[in-house]
Amino acid sequence: MKELVMGFLGCGNVGGGVWKLLQGYADELDCRQHLTIRVKKVLVRSLNKQRSCDVPREILTDNPDDVLLDPEITLVAEFMGGEHPATEYMLKALENGKTVVTANKVALALNWHLLQAAAEKSGVGLYYEASVGGAIPIIGALTQSLQANRISSIMGIINGTTNYILSRMTENGEDYQAVLADAQKLGLAEPDPTSDVEGMDAAYKLSIMASLAFHTRVTYDKVYREGITKVTAADIAWGRKMGYVVKLLAVAKQEGNKVEVRVHPAFLPKEHPLAGVNGSFNAVYLYGHACKEMMLQGRGAGDMPTASAIVGDILQAVKAEGHYPYPTFANTAEPDPATVFDDNWTAKYFVRLSAADGTDALSYVAACFAKAHIAIEGMTQETAHGQAQMMLVTGEAKEQAVQSALSSLDPSLCTVENLIRIEA
Amino acid sequence: MKELVMGFLGCGNVGGGVWKLLQGYADELDCRQHLTIRVKKVLVRSLNKQRSCDVPREILTDNPDDVLLDPEITLVAEFMGGEHPATEYMLKALENGKTVVTANKVALALNWHLLQAAAEKSGVGLYYEASVGGAIPIIGALTQSLQANRISSIMGIINGTTNYILSRMTENGEDYQAVLADAQKLGLAEPDPTSDVEGMDAAYKLSIMASLAFHTRVTYDKVYREGITKVTAADIAWGRKMGYVVKLLAVAKQEGNKVEVRVHPAFLPKEHPLAGVNGSFNAVYLYGHACKEMMLQGRGAGDMPTASAIVGDILQAVKAEGHYPYPTFANTAEPDPATVFDDNWTAKYFVRLSAADGTDALSYVAACFAKAHIAIEGMTQETAHGQAQMMLVTGEAKEQAVQSALSSLDPSLCTVENLIRIEA
């Protein structure tokens, strides 16, 4: 019988899930893998807080060194979240020869090079399946089963909060603010929802996935980012009429040494496999030169789905006789200088404009786009209360050309209300 | 620089794909993983056959021992298919200390215990990601990322040929025979399509997945199997009216020590994630107690998608310092006696019956079902050319109760044309 002695950094929602999963799983581990897992110490901020899981009071500690320096502890699982002090704690654990399993996309995306260097130096493992997509085995797929592929494209719905909000706006025609308030009440959005609704959370995750898929460090600061706060019920309704569904999409593409990475609201044709991924579900759709189209879909958050990925990592770490070779790209803080980050990507564009009724804004806008050599595939106009609303959909066009055409429009003739990229 | 010297068993469609993938990938392997892969010998049936890939004539051999006994060869990849002689060749390779990577669902499902015993004895690896679902990383997910889950249900579309046929029948209202003939012309169905259309192929794959998911040997002979040959355009049209889509479904469920495994045509509500998986795509939808709902979808066949899984396995085998612990359940030829295989499963049922016009068959059938305590959720009837067609949908019912109610019907009053189970 093998025994793993481990420590927790944090014991909130996810930590509680891991505790529950380990407890309920003990018998099966015992008889199937001849393994017992003992959680020796659990770092918490407050020793006296009420917890949803039944971690015994005597293994709680508020001193990180009780976990990080205990020589009996060989594996540390981190679910504190945030860059600091999680990064420092994980570094200390790794330096002290402990394998680290983490769900922390922020610390990993920002400090991958530091964490990996410490892991390599100690010859221990660094596992992070739970950092992207909750229970979805996307890290395992990218690093193992799909590793023979040259992956050219990833499109992900990797933030459950925004997907819940957009799904409800789509289903019920509700407004953003109303749904957000409700999501906050239901615990599906944070009291400060910025990281979710402004796309930071998705951008951290995209940085990790794109790095693994493209074998080059795609740092967080290279990810173009636009949140969902400007998406209106009107945009969604117009999109629907044209056969589109709106999603907060994380997109990464690679062609030769050119990489584009971006998080923004996007319209998808309603037949697209990602278009049906609703509510708090996550999904990653990718294309590899050998595997072709592939989609992984599941629960992207929540205590038990995240615990599923963490305990999977713990068991892999225990089984591994030698830890997997560390990806070499992650050794640097900066992207490979040979990688060119392209922010002039190609898409179709949905543009909503308003103008005073009676003006000939439609022909004016059409002329501006024609001058910029941007094809217009569809245009429609509606007038109400002395105000004209125009929707237009371009053909495939370059980001910069579209932005420059829109900024050339005379604001006294029409106002750009919103722009949503269309992916396929 | 590390060098892997390997041999191929077979060089047909899949073998050619692996060859092409390895050739096109050599530079990246070189610079990223400091690894060269040399294919030293390729076993073929005919040395002079024209091949789609450019394997050099001098490495072809028709003597299996050139691959199986060469001490320089440390890894053998098998894509001959079929139980014999693939099983014997793999056993010989394993006994001679060579790691085996296989795409062979038949040999694995039927002889897992022999293959694993040989692998364990030699301390080498046995890898089989390509045996189920082509490029879809379902084996990796079940054995690694999702291993902390108690999986209660798997539903898979894991045969591309039948999914292509049923998708076309659904889209165009075509008849089975016509689509099959066309699929054969297009190379999407074998000249002898039995293994696909009668569900054997799906049953082998289900046997493998269910064994891994439930940690018990689920042998092929325990899988209930019913093919798609009886599905008619009329069934599909009636299903569509009721909001259902037909699929050849592989279903495995576990509750306590009770396991059910079955492959048969099934109706799915059109909103079900599997209902949109069309053409030659495969998908596996599962439920685990921690991960909750999960779906993996991708190319289930074809030279390059299958090669994606095989080369992924080869690279994992090379990286592994110790091969993963072998699943203990696979050590026996027979299922664990504690496992109870339940063939009296619960589902809803779609039943199509015909009767001579003017007879009161509808009330007769309704009475028979009522007598058997089977609720009827919907019933509809259509009369044409002196013949009445009845469709009925039951509530949740037991398989044996439904079968016995149907066999109690007087054939002079009505004929059971088809029965299709409804899953949700």
Q: How far apart are CA B112 and CA B134, in angstroms?
A: 19
Please give the pLDDT value at position A383.
87
Token pair listed for A346? 């190609």
Please give the pLDDT value at position A321.
67
Return the residue matching tokens 């060119």: A340
Token pair listed for B313? 């396995």
Average pLDDT of chain B is 94
Q: How many helices (H) and strands (E) does chain B have?
A: 13, 18
Please give the pLDDT value at position B358.
63
Distance from CA of B217 to the nearest CA of A (A): 13
Asked whether the predicted pLDDT for residue B72 surpasses 90, the reply is yes
Please give the pLDDT value at position B328.
79
Contacts of B149 in chain A (CB under 8 A): 308
**Does A137 sit within 8 Å of B144, measured CB to CB?**
yes
Q: How far apart are CA B202 and CA B206, in angstroms?
A: 6
pLDDT in tens, B199-246: 999 999 999 999 999 999 999 999 999 999 999 999 999 999 999 999
Please give the pLDDT value at position B352.
94
Burial class of residue B251 (count of CB atoms within 10 Å of its CB; 0-12, 13-18, 19+): buried
Q: How far apart are CA B270 and CA B246, in angstroms?
A: 9
CA separation, residue B209 to residues A316, B14, B286 (Å): 19, 21, 11
Distance from CA of A355 to the nearest CA of B (A): 40
Q: Which of B9-23, B86-100, B172-186, B371-385 has the lowest mean pLDDT?
A: B371-385
Nearest to B321 among A32, A305, A322 (CB): A322
Candidates B152, B272, B294, partner chain A, best to mutate (most A CBs within 10 A): B294
Q: How far apart are CA B340 and CA B337, in angstroms?
A: 7
**Does B325 sit within 8 Å of A322, measured CB to CB?**
no
Q: Which residues of chain A have pLDDT under 50?
A: none
Nearest to A290 among B140, B307, B324 (CB): B307
Contact B298, B282 (CB under 8 A): yes
**Does A140 sit within 8 Å of B137, measured CB to CB?**
yes
Distance from CA of A325 to the nearest CA of B (A): 7
**Does A290 sit within 8 Å of B305, measured CB to CB?**
yes
DSSP A36-78: EEEEEEEE-S-TT---SS---GGGEES-THHHHS-TT--EEEE
pLDDT in tens, B10-47: 999 999 999 999 999 888 887 788 899 999 999 999 99
Candidates A139, A145, A318, partner chain B, best to mutate (most B CBs within 10 A): A145
**Does B148 sit within 8 Å of A325, measured CB to CB?**
no
Q: Which of B41, B205, B222, B247 is catalytic?
A: B205
Please give the pLDDT value at position B1.
83
For residue A275, the 8-state DSSP code is: G
Q: How far apart are CA A204 and CA A272, in angstroms?
A: 24
pLDDT in tens, B345-361: 999 999 999 998 766 88
Contacts of B129 in chain A (CB under 8 A): 145
Alpha helices by DSSP H, listed for A267-347, are 303-319
| DSSP-derived 3-state class of residue A349 | strand
Burial class of residue A321 (count of CB atoms within 10 Å of its CB; 0-12, 13-18, 19+): exposed
Candidates B147, B285, B286, B318, partner chain A, best to mutate (most A CBs within 10 A): B147
Task: Check: pTM over 0.90? Answer yes or no.
Answer: yes
From the centroid of its chain, how far is CA B365? 36
Contact B413, B364 (CB under 8 A): yes
Nearest to B291 among A144, A305, A321 (CB): A305
Nearest to A308 among B135, B146, B299 (CB): B146
**Does A298 sit within 8 Å of B290, measured CB to CB?**
no
Please give the pLDDT value at position A357.
73
Q: In chain B, which residue's Cα lies nearest the Cα of A284?
A: B296
Please give the pLDDT value at position A322.
65
Contact A317, A75 (CB under 8 A): yes
**Does B295 sit within 8 Å of A297, measured CB to CB?**
yes
Q: In chain B, which residue's Cα lies nearest the Cα of A272?
A: B276
Asked whether the predicted pLDDT for residue B313 surpasses 70, the reply is yes
B327: pLDDT confidence band, cut at 50, 70 and 90? confident
